[in-house]
Amino acid sequence: MDYALILSGGSGTRLWPLSRRARPKHLVWLAGSKPLLEQTLDRLEGLIPAERRFLITIPEQAPIVRDAARGRAAGIIIEPVGRNNLFPMALSTRMLADRDPDARIVFLPSDHSLAQPGMLRQALELALEVAAKGYIVTLGIPTKYAEPNYGHIEKGDVIPGFGGRAFPVFEAKSFREKPPLEVAEELDRSKEWFWNCGIFIYTASGMLELVAEAQPGLARILDELAPSLARGVPVIDKPVCDWEAEQAIREAYLGLPKKLQTSIDYALMEKARRVAMIPVEMGWSDLGGFSALSELLEPVDETNRVALGKDGVEARVLLPGCTNVTVFPGKRTVVCLDCKDLIVVDTSDALLILPRESSGRVRDVVEQIKQRGWTDLL
């Protein structure tokens, strides 16, 4: 059977102060008519039924994630602490494999935006077929500019047997995770390289074989934790699986070696042999900063943009003489006079003003806030 594992526990520091640890970007109203997590669940309608969808989150976000998933997923899996995406993917895949050896799994983030969700569903339908042939499958997004913060996939030869489908299927020749800017510029000029959107489709058995080959230490941890994983999986009438309450799993999280506190890309995909890539243009954005988020807003004039409130009400914002200014207003009136290339973010307890080109440095500001002990702002 087909399952979805939806990663729903990120911190969203690149969109502070809109995004906070207890309510990060996938749980707030950023783009579209619903929070990103709800949009993600919408995309799976007609593909994977609610009783086979599982959301993976952290304790601070568990109550909100559970409410969002109510009736739309079997339930939530609560990690003791965040440890990037490799470990929760491996644990939850082992948990499902022990119950359904033939499981086919879509592992995807909950904090991305798509303009064409129908294209994703078509690509996932094909990807599940390809995964059944023994491939780990990922989706490739045509690059639009040089982006050093994205992973990249190099297209290889066509994989035969899938002709006449909505998308071609290629071997993934190589992966390059977050290359330097000069390398990203070269990859953007090439027609052979695509952005890696972080969606992986695989059979549970195939992924666990890859884990055993590429990360044998992780495979041993999975074997040791198998009895604890067997004690609970979310179901509609018992929708919470709390790994923090399982002592062995909690200790494994707290004592996890640094080299395993990493991404699937670094730990597995760069070492995998049978990887397929399906290129698909679906209006994808990972909303990795305010510059990317602002591109989803409708311009209010030739270049300036203003975000609407949750209820769609237009805020009190004036931008006389401004060029390329984006405002994410709060309750206060915002006036910018003769400004250029700025982003303004106003919330009830913090005001952020930055040049558009500095969008990628917001995470550094969050680190300074942590160092100063201003925990109420996190």
How does pLDDT run across 283-320, given as a tens digit for each residue?
Answer: 998 887 898 888 888 888 889 999 876 655 678 899 99
Check whether residue 260 and residue 307 sit in a common domain: no
Residue 203 is given by DSSP the state E
The reply to whether omega before 101 is within 30° of 0 (cis) is: no
Is the pLDDT confidence value at 219 over 90?
A: yes
How does pLDDT run across 29-71, given as a tens digit for each residue?
Answer: 776 668 889 999 999 999 999 999 999 999 989 988 988 888 8
Check whether residue 224 and residue 352 sit in a common domain: no
Check whether residue 7 and residue 138 sit in a common domain: yes
Percent of the chain at pLDDT exceeding 90: 65
The answer to whether 352 touches 369, Cβ cutoff 8 Å, is no
pLDDT at 313: 64
Check whether residue 214 and residue 134 sit in a common domain: yes
Is the pLDDT confidence value at 139 over 90?
A: yes
How does pLDDT run across 222-231, given as a tens digit for each residue?
Answer: 999 999 998 8
Number of independent structural domains in the chain:
2
Check whether residue 94 and residue 202 sit in a common domain: yes
Check whether residue 244 and residue 345 sit in a common domain: no
Domain boundary among 268, 288, 308: 288
Check whether residue 19 and residue 117 sit in a common domain: yes
Domain boundary among 240, 273, 288: 288
pLDDT at 291: 87
Check whether residue 211 and residue 353 sit in a common domain: no
pLDDT at 159: 94
CATH at 166: 3.90.550.10
Check whether residue 228 and residue 372 sit in a common domain: no
What's the predicted TM-score (pTM) here? 0.91
Task: State which H helix or E strand residue 126 sits in.
Answer: helix 117-131
Domain boundary among 267, 288, 309: 288
Mean of all residue pLDDT scores within the chain: 91
Check whether residue 272 and residue 311 sit in a common domain: no
Which structure tokens are listed for 2? Answer: 């087909």
Q: Residue 36: which domain range? A: 2-288
Check whether residue 262 and residue 371 sit in a common domain: no
Sign of the torsion angle spanned by Cα atoms 57, 62, 66, 69: negative
Q: Where does the pLDDT of residue 22 fall: very low under 50, low under 70, confident under 90, or very high at 90 and above?
A: confident
The Cα 51–Cα 233 span in angstroms is: 11
How does pLDDT run across 242-285, given as a tens digit for each residue?
Answer: 998 899 999 999 999 999 999 998 899 888 889 999 999 999 98
